[in-house]
Chain A
Amino acid sequence: MKPIISISNLTKTYASGQQALSEINLEIQRGEIFALLGPNGAGKTTLIGIICGLVTQNEGSVSVDGHDIQKEFRAARAMIGLVPQELSTAAFETVLSTLNFSRGLFGKPPNAAYIEKVLRDLSLWDKRNAMIITLSGGMKRRVLIAKALCHEPQILFLDEPTAGVDVELRRDMWQMVRQLRDSGVTIILTTHYIEEAEEMADRIGIINKGRLIVVEEKTKMMDSLGSKQLTLTLREPLSHLPDTFEPDSLALSENGHTLTYTYGTQQQDNGISELLRQLSEQKIEIKDLHSSESSLEDIFVNLVKEKA
């Protein structure tokens, strides 16, 4: 299937000289949830800004469902809904009038039934006649999502959708994003919460210092880049590692009480039985052991460190 968004050689340097993006190539597939993950200032918002029309690129091109975002900006933008990071809303408008405004702005004729559906889905129907300034932060966030959805976009950008949002609302929002995806909307979200990407995304792109470091299906990324750790608590402290072990994969804690063995999840022979055999040969007794899988967070930290 043709990708819904194709980005090629996208480069952006701001007037201040700050290079925000360099040679980004990326394809977003129809109907997926794509998470763009990266530390603050990595270029996530700039990338979204270019696709949506807030920022102009220096080089490269973006097409949305075959429409170039500059030459055919109407067709491209009509397909996109953007939920910005900041809670930027008109203060003295009512919820309903701001939604009608958004729908009209994107060239759609009024449709009260559709607006009602969006409001009900986001639990905003009771607040439809409330002035936006009177709403809580979480409610304002929902209003922004409703604004982005009320012109029936096929692509939804969520820029840091759960920044500063309480746990309950975050769960609700994830639920809503899944429902949207099930209805056929392609979703691109940026986040620096790895938990969020791990929970939601089909594919993950990691961006750092304006470069796309890796793009991979979430499960594959966790498999290929993930590792497990086996922690052994020793009965008697060791003063140093026995010479027979590889120092790379085995580490001794400072107090000599724990040994940590790191191994890849993909390896056929992970070396655990060999390790245990050697330990018993050396008469090193084990009091306790447990193993843990690395999270996306560890993968992310490693990647960003490596490529920095």
Chain B
Amino acid sequence: MNYYAIRAIYIFEMSRAWRTLMESIAAPILSTSLYFVVFGAAIGARMGEIDGIGYGAFIIPGLVMLSLLSISVSNASFGIYFPKFSGTIYEILTAPASAIEIVLGYVGAAASKSVILGLLILLTARLFVDYEIAHPVWMLAFLLLTAITFSLLGFIIGLWANDFQQLQIIPLMVITPLTFLGGAFYSIEMLPEPWQTISLFNPVVYLISGFRWSFYGISDVNVVISFGMTIFFMLSCLAVIRWIFNSGYRLRS
């Protein structure tokens, strides 16, 4: 195992976030705060409770997930796409480092940033709404698993993308709709059929449902299924990355 390589990539990626502090930390916190002001305070005051939870508190886990997913994907995809774009990837590809080490460096850094950001958003939310966390260990587990899974997905997108448009298209056209339809702002039980059943094909539903359960003990789907689906999704991403490195797809000619 080339630990120094993992460390080098990790430090490089973390220092990139530090350089772009406003963009990578301040902006997501600001936009989440806006959601709290608009949905939590303004609209939420006129909404009824969902499963006995006030609307402002109900949307907190969903909003954290919303930021976590988009920031994981954008951070990890940009982290590996930019060296491809600028040509500096030659150094990564000629280094005595295996795919596992490269992924640990890039995805580890992206997931770390996401978890830090997720926790900061939770702290910010405290300024707007009172909430409690029923199962803190599970909350952290879901946070960590989701950050890793979506950083892996971002890494795949970054490897696959050939230009900046391709880099943006999946987050904008696939991930954002899935997140909004994943129950961040509502319980999927509030949806009419067939939309309830269709929602069950949306992987984000399981993440948000499980995450919300760790806060309030309520969930749209069984928490074991949520956890299982999250693990399954993570393993699928790992399998794709393994294939990319083995075949050299879009990496080695």
Contacts and interface: CB of A to CB of B under 8 A. Distances in A.
A100 B93 CA distance: 17
B140 interface: no
A54 B94 contact: yes
A52 B94 contact: yes
A89 B97 contact: no
B5 A106 contact: yes
A93 B13 CA distance: 11
Counting chain B residues whose Cβ lies within 8 A of the other chain, the interface size class is: 20 to 34
Interface residues of A, number: 36
Contacts of A108: 4
Contact of B2 (A56, A74, A97): A74
A138 interface: no
Interface in A87-109: 88-93, 97, 100-109
A88 B90 contact: yes
Contacts of A56: 248, 252-253
B8 A15 contact: no
Per DSSP, are chain B's interface residues mostly helix, strand or loop, or mixed? helix
B86 interface: yes
Nearest to B10: A104
A88 B11 contact: no
A145 to B, nearest CB: 13
A147 interface: yes
A54 B90 contact: yes
B48 interface: no
Given A53-B94, A107-B4, A101 B12 contact: yes
A90 B86 contact: yes
A86 interface: yes
30 contacts: A15-B253, A53-B93, A54-B93, A54-B253, A56-B248, A56-B252, A74-B2, A77-B94, A77-B96, A82-B94, A84-B87, A84-B90, A86-B87, A88-B87, A89-B86, A89-B88, A90-B86, A90-B88, A91-B86, A97-B12, A101-B8, A101-B9, A101-B12, A104-B4, A105-B5, A105-B9, A105-B95, A106-B96, A107-B2, A107-B5
Interface of A: 14-15, 49, 52-56, 73-78, 80, 82, 84, 86, 88-93, 97, 100-109, 147
Interface of B: 2, 4-5, 7-9, 11-12, 15-16, 19, 86-88, 90-98, 248, 252-253
